[in-house]
Amino acid sequence: MRGILMTIPCHRIHERCLHFKGKPMLLCARCFAMLLGYLFTPIALAFNMVVPLWVPIIMAVPLVMDGFTQKWKWRKSSNLVRFITGILFGVGQSLLISTMTWEIVQYFK
């Protein structure tokens, strides 16, 4: 499992990782939360969830704002904020995948 996780592109900065039993996880809080959000994809597909395109875009905005304001050193983010923005982004991408899938299915019907 460790080998698979190491193939995921992530900076793995220890202070930005969630800790389990005193040890940092192999992924940062944001990347871990994004992966958790991706687990929503089968649920979205199973329930034929189709949303307007602006919904996944809006769900990505907090992650982009948090990332860039931190990169530009305007503020320092926390692992809680990274986790929340990451899970929003992951669920947003899941909804985008579900919407695109069902639109393609409808197109070929």
pLDDT tens digits along 40-74: 999 999 998 999 999 999 999 999 999 999 999 99
Query: Residue 41 half-sphere exposure, CB side, CA atoms within 13 Å?
Result: 13
Partners of 19 in the β-ladder: 24
pLDDT range class, residue 102, cuts 50, 70, 90? very high
At residue 6, does pLDDT exceed 80?
no
Residue in this structure with the two tokens 């860039």, named with its chain if needed = 68
| Angstrom distance (rounded) from CA 64 to CA 49 | 24
